[in-house]
């Protein structure tokens, strides 16, 4: 991969994360897989980027845009577009995998790494999960460990250009190691919560986590 993100400076959160790791609290479920397993089971490769949404694509201007970060954090945030762009920016390249069975290799992103956001807000010891809400009303959940993955990014650019409205612009989350419904478009609110709870698709028969390599497509219930 090219354009690897820079390592964050040592912070209070970095120290806390090391403690979490030693305790096994934040086991992400990510698997070190050989190149032959790059494509998860049941997936097929595409070269385009299919568009999937709930039937509406909200138009959010940079003047209207806002990201609220709240819940079980030491420092809540409410950022406008300029303030968001003032956060550390990084580039990275990842694959993406959709539960509808398509995968696309080598997507180039630019944006704010979730770990850099965590360094600012400092989740409390009670924070175990994240609930995210989009401008179109879509919600989805993530265990905190998955939100904090090293390649999770609050992305504003794809392939060197601003992310288009149909793909979730001006900003969307990208969590490459999970199915892509866990990467909400048009993100406007991130809430750190004590107990994991289902979002839109999770209430409608889909898995609470969504690991492509174990085919966590649907609920175990």
Q: What is the pLDDT along the chain (221 residues), one digit of tens a residue?
A: 323 322 323 333 223 323 322 332 222 233 435 345 899 999 999 999 999 888 889 999 999 999 999 999 999 999 999 999 999 999 999 999 999 999 999 999 999 999 999 999 999 999 999 999 999 999 999 999 999 999 999 999 999 999 999 999 999 999 999 999 999 999 999 999 999 999 999 988 899 999 999 999 998 76
Between strands 102-113 and 153-158, the pairing is antiparallel
Which CATH number describes the domain made up of 42-47+64-214? 3.90.420.10
Domain ranges of the chain: 42-47+64-214
E strand or H helix that includes residue 21: helix 12-23
Rounded Cα distance between 34 and 32, Å, is 7
Q: Can you read off the two tokens belonging to residue 53?
A: 């949404």
pTM: 0.83
């Amino acid at each position: 991969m090219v354009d690897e993100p820079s390592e964050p400076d040592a912070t209070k959160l970095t120290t806390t994360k090391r403690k979490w790791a030693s305790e096994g609290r934040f086991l992400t479920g990510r698997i070190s897989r050989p190149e032959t397993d790059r494509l998860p089971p049941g997936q097929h490769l595409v070269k385009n980027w299919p568009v999937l949404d709930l039937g509406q694509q909200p138009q959010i201007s940079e003047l209207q845009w806002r990201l609220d970060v709240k819940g079980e954090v030491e420092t809540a945030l409410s950022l406008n577009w300029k303030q968001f762009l003032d956060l550390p920016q990084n580039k990275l390249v990842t694959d993406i995998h959709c539960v509808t069975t398509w995968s696309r290799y080598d997507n180039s992103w630019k944006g704010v790494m979730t770990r850099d956001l965590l360094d600012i807000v400092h989740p409390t010891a009670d924070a175990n999960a994240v609930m995210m809400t989009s401008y179109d009303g879509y919600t989805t959940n993530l265990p905190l460990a998955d939100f904090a993955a090293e390649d999770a990014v609050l992305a504003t650019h794809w392939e060197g250009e601003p992310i288009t409205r149909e793909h979730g612009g001006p900003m969307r989350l990208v969590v490459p190691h999970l199915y892509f419904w866990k990467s909400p478009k048009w993100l406007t609110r991130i809430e750190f919560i004590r107990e994991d709870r289902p979002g839109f698709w999770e209430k409608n028969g889909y898995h609470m986590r969504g690991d492509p390599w174990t085919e966590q497509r649907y609920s175990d219930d």
